[in-house]
Amino acid sequence: MRIVTPLKNLDRELARFRGRVKFGAAFALLLAGVLLARAFHLQVVAHEHYIERAESNRISLVPAPPNRGLILDRKGRVLAENYSAYTVELTRAEADDMEATLAEIGKLIEITPGQLRRFRRLLAESHEFETVPLKSKLTDEEVAILAANLYRLPGAEVRARLFRNYQGGPGMAHVVGFIGRINDRDLRRVRESGLDKDYKGTVHIGKTGLEQSYETLLHGRAGFDRMETDASGRAVRMISRIPPVPGKDLRLHLDASLQEVAEHAFGDYLGGLVALDPNTGGVLALVSKPGFDPNLFVDGIDPETWKSLNESPERPMVNRALRGIYPPGSTIKPLMALAGLELGLREPDDSIDDPGFFRLPNSQHRFRDWKPGGHGIVDLRRSISQSCDIYYYRLAVDMGIDRMHDYLTQFGLGQKTGIDLQGESSGLLPSRAWKQRRWKQPWYPGETVIAGIGQGYHLTTPLQLATMTAMLANGGKRIQPRLVDAVRDPHTRAWQTQAPVMLGEVAIDPENLAVVRQGMMDVTRPGGTAAASAAGAAYGIAGKTGTAQVVGIKQGARYDATRLAREHRDHALFVAYAPAENPVIAVAVMVENGGSGSGTAAPIARAVFDYYLTGKRPGTMKLETDDAAD
């Protein structure tokens, strides 16, 4: 039994304890005060701030990409359109094991090796959170199979996407171009031009052709859905939406059938063709052979296909019509003749006796005519129709390189035409200053001689030749060539025609021009270099043949096409407009290794004229043709 503590002591202990209890109560009240003060600050003082933060937490703007504008030909035929299709896409960040998921999908639906290669390339280029398409244009059955199995395919999803479909065929690829997935460089450009908001949610951007040059018009502006989202970003419901603004439709001057006829006329040959409306600058056809299927690029191209396209010796990706540079050869002779008349160096009746060669004073070097033995007595008209080299050697020497350069410059040679496509070459119109700058060498008289027949340093694109020809057809008006004729507003549905852009006008004495035109008409008449190609035409054609040397021919050696490998044969050129009296179409044709302008290039131009002016569709050209005189 313990001794009981004295009562007095117990009272004191109890009093002390109660004191401490009161202190404990005060402590609890203090802590409660702190909590309530903090809650007051959060819930009353800073309430507005937190409401805002909760809203921005909760609401996310989900971009709704706009429909891309259509591209139509002059008759309203669709060249580029949109369609919606299901794709199966994968996200690296969400896939636990990408290879396993791929293998699983491969068991469910058919994935071609090409699709797999393309997917791996895109995956390597993409960010972790980006979705990368594996297979697009899924069939309903494939969608159903995948949808049923998505739960065991981590990182995979099936989505409806807008795609671009190019119906113009491979020949149209160089005009319409194609869209491709936006890469980092595109993104930076979009951001720098302040358009990043418009591109929210957009996967594709124009990469080449009209798709590239009219990107801003075609694209439109993204809309935004205000969505309520949960913490993992899943949309729970839509609150409001700002609809996207669709892109504008483009209508071209270009006639898809005409283009098709032109391509067809090329047969197996490579080359470029540009047909212009000389009165508006509208591009009626723009061919670069070979073409390729632009649809391959829309959703990313697989590396093997890309390699085969890019490394093909035929270089299908190069737009020869505006990038291919070739010596213009004899096709500049009408222009040289006009310069001779306009500069007062020649009268139409001034004639030479052509012995088949030309020598500079104090030189033994013989500049030969293409025709052994020469053309005999040649005046200006005959110099064009017969393509007499000697006439132009002399004219060039009389004119001098400076005046030649200045006069030809007015017709756009050696400059970009400003067509509404990107990547155009400027070619080269040689001058004394250029040579000094480029080669640090003076200009030699012999160089003037060959410049007179479009050889030597001269380099032009088919587009430049077409522009030059259009100027001869319209009397000197330099109009910027243009593919797009009209733009349609998506809301009003009204087409707005684009006015032609005049770059300048060369003042030409009509009499002088008439003589040159007569010479060009003679080209297609019996006795002219392209007479065979123009035979039986229901309208007059004014033109000029030409060849561009691929390999230099040694002094004294003769050019013989049949003894050369095809890739060493000369490029064949032909420029022409029709009807000769009242021209509505001007054409420049360049056939790589075509041999002679009259043999291969002129028939292609004839086919284009026939279709455009009479609606007649000609047959395909044979690869090997009899070489006619040039």
Partner 1 sequence: MQRTRHWILRRLSHLDLILLALVLLLLGISVAVVASASGQSPARISGHLVNVGLALSLMIVMANIPPHLLSKVGPVLYVAGVVLLVAVAVFGEIRNGSRRWLNLGVMAFQPSELLKLAVPLMLAWYFQRNESGLRGKHFLIGGALLAVPFVLILRQPDLGTALMIGASGFYLLFFAGLPWKIILGGGVLAGASLPVLWGFLHDYQRERVLTLLDPASDPLGAGYHIIQSTIAIGSGGLFGKGWSQGTQSQLDFIPERTTDFVFAVFGEEFGYVGTILLVALYLSIVARGLVIAARAPTLFGRLMAATLSLNLFTYVFVNMGMVSGILPVVGVPLPLMSYGGTALVTLLLGMGILMSVATHRQLNKT
Give me the active site residues, please: 330
Q: Which is nearer to partner 1, 42 or 514 (CB)?
A: 42
| Burial grade of 356 (CB within 10 A; 0-12, 13-18, 19 or more) | middle
- Interaction between residue 26 and partner 1 (CB under 8 A): no
**Closest-CA residue to 169 (of 304, 84, 260, 64):** 260
Choice from 11, 13, 97, 314 touching partner 1 (CB under 8 A): 13
Peptide bond between residue 66 and the one before it cis (omega within 30 degrees of 0):
no
Q: Which is nearer to partner 1, 46 or 377 (CB)?
A: 46
DSSP 8-class letter at 130: S
- Interaction between residue 504 and partner 1 (CB under 8 A): no
Residues 466-495 that bind partner 1 (CB under 8 A): none
3-state secondary structure of 112: coil
Kindly give the pairing relationship between strand 484-488 and strand 495-497. antiparallel
Choice from 1, 7, 8, 38 touching partner 1 (CB under 8 A): 38
Choice from 11, 20, 183, 582 touching partner 1 (CB under 8 A): 20
Residue with tokens 């913490």: 231
Residues 303-342 that bind partner 1 (CB under 8 A): none
Q: How far apart are alpha carbons 469 and 576 in whole angstroms?
A: 7
Q: Which stretch binds partner 1 (CB under 8 A): 41-49, 344-352, 469-477, 580-588?
A: 41-49
Residue with tokens 């470029």: 272
Q: How far apart are alpha carbons 128 and 595 in whole angstroms?
A: 54
Q: According to the annotation, is 610 in a ligand binding site? A: no
Q: How far apart are alpha carbons 545 and 329 in whole angstroms?
A: 9
Q: And the tokens for 87?
A: 């794709």
Choice from 28, 160, 377, 501 touching partner 1 (CB under 8 A): 28
Residues 171-190 that bind partner 1 (CB under 8 A): none
CA 504 to chain centre: 26
Q: How many CB atoms lie within 10 A of CB 208?
A: 22
Q: Taking each helix axis from N to C terminus, what angle separates 389-409 and 333-342, rounded to the nearest 10 degrees?
A: 70
Residues 216-255 that bind partner 1 (CB under 8 A): 228-232, 236
Q: According to the annotation, is 96 in a ligand binding site? A: no
- Interaction between residue 24 and partner 1 (CB under 8 A): yes
Q: Which is nearer to partner 1, 34 or 187 (CB)?
A: 34
Shortest CB 63 distance to partner 1, Å: 20
Q: According to the annotation, is 204 in a ligand binding site? A: no
Shortest CB 59 distance to partner 1, Å: 9
Shortest CB 29 distance to partner 1, Å: 7
DSSP 8-class letter at 8: H
Bridge partners (DSSP) listed for residue 543: 576
What kind and span of H or E run contains 71?
A: strand 71-72
Q: Which is nearer to partner 1, 62 or 116 (CB)?
A: 62
Shortest CB 128 distance to partner 1, Å: 15
Residues 402-441 that bind partner 1 (CB under 8 A): none
Q: How far apart are alpha carbons 473 and 506 in whole angstroms?
A: 12
Q: Which is nearer to partner 1, 16 or 365 (CB)?
A: 16
- Interaction between residue 150 and partner 1 (CB under 8 A): no
Q: According to the annotation, is 73 in a ligand binding site? A: no
DSSP 8-class letter at 367: E
- Interaction between residue 147 and partner 1 (CB under 8 A): no
Q: Do 154 and 68 touch, CB atoms closer than 8 A?
A: no
Q: Which stretch binds partner 1 (CB under 8 A): 32-40, 115-123, 145-153, 213-221?
A: 32-40
- Interaction between residue 36 and partner 1 (CB under 8 A): yes
Q: How far apart are alpha carbons 595 and 466 in whole angstroms?
A: 20
- Interaction between residue 93 and partner 1 (CB under 8 A): no
Shortest CB 46 distance to partner 1, Å: 6
11-38 burial, b if ≥16 CB within 10 A, otherwise e?
Answer: eeeeeeeeeeeeeeeeeeeeeeeeeeee
- Interaction between residue 18 and partner 1 (CB under 8 A): yes
Choice from 1, 8, 11, 17 touching partner 1 (CB under 8 A): 17
Residues 42-81 that bind partner 1 (CB under 8 A): 42-44, 46-47, 49-51, 53-54, 57-58
Residue with tokens 């005409």: 258
∠ CA 527-533-535, rounded to 5° = 70
3-state secondary structure of 591: strand
Shortest CB 30 distance to partner 1, Å: 10
Alpha helices in 41-151 (DSSP H): 47-58, 98-108, 113-125, 140-149
- Interaction between residue 25 and partner 1 (CB under 8 A): yes
Q: How far apart are alpha carbons 404 and 429 in whole angstroms?
A: 9
DSSP per residue, 487-548:
EE-TTT--EEEPPP-EEEE----HHHHHHHHHHHHHHTSTTSTTHHHHTT-SS--EEEEEEE
Shortest CB 225 distance to partner 1, Å: 17
Q: Which stretch binds partner 1 (CB under 8 A): 31-39, 86-94, 216-224, 290-298?
A: 31-39
Shortest CB 197 distance to partner 1, Å: 24
Contacts of 297 (CB under 8 A, 6+ apart): 178, 179, 180, 207
Q: Which is nearer to partner 1, 36 or 535 (CB)?
A: 36
Shortest CB 57 distance to partner 1, Å: 6
Q: Do 134 and 88 touch, CB atoms closer than 8 A?
A: yes
Kindly give the pairing relationship between strand 249-252 and strand 71-72. parallel
Shortest CB 9 distance to partner 1, Å: 9
Q: Do 83 and 240 touch, CB atoms closer than 8 A?
A: no
Number of residues that bind partner 1 (CB under 8 A): 40
Q: Which is nearer to partner 1, 34 or 535 (CB)?
A: 34
Q: Which stretch binds partner 1 (CB under 8 A): 30-38, 121-129, 415-423, 490-498?
A: 30-38
Q: How many CB atoms lie within 10 A of CB 117?
A: 16
Kindly give the pairing relationship between strand 352-354 and strand 376-378. antiparallel
Task: Give the annotated binding-site residues for Zn(2+).
Answer: 354, 369, 375, 388
Binding site for partner 1 (CB under 8 A): 2-3, 5, 13, 16-18, 20-21, 24-25, 27-29, 31-32, 34-36, 38-40, 42-44, 46-47, 49-51, 53-54, 57-58, 228-232, 236
Task: Give the annotated binding-site residues.
Answer: 354, 369, 375, 388
